[in-house]
Amino acid sequence: MSKRITFEESLGASDWGLIIDKNGHLKGLFIPDGSSEDDVPEGIIQLCCNQFGVDPEEFYSIEDGRPAVLH
């Protein structure tokens, strides 16, 4: 029988993780220690927008075009 591990145990120190509910809806984003909402990789932003219908404006601030807030 395989050993069960927690979500956080499955991630490396710099890994990001999407949290998806049993119905396939995006619930949240795991942000690794040392990173913040401002550091969300572009690939994750695009995935969230294209696959989960997240409004890209939720990621970008008007002032600098970088990720600012994740809801």
Continuous H helices in 1-71: 7-10, 42-52
Whether 39 maps to a domain, the answer reads yes
Q: Record the tokens describing residue 2, joined without a space.
A: 């395989």
Torsions phi, psi for 26 (to 5 deg): -70, 125
Whether 70 maps to a domain, the answer reads no
Whether 69 maps to a domain, the answer reads no
Length of the chain: 71
Verdict on whether the full-model pTM lies above 0.75: no
Segment 2-58, tens digit of pLDDT: 889 998 889 999 999 999 999 999 988 999 999 988 899 999 999 999 999 998 877
How many domains, in total, are found in the chain? 1
Domain of 17 in residue numbering reads as 7-58
Whether 26 maps to a domain, the answer reads yes
Whether 43 maps to a domain, the answer reads yes
Q: Record the tokens describing residue 45, joined without a space.
A: 């932003």
- With vertex at residue 18, the alpha carbon angle to CA 63 and CA 28, rounded to the nearest 5 degrees, is 65
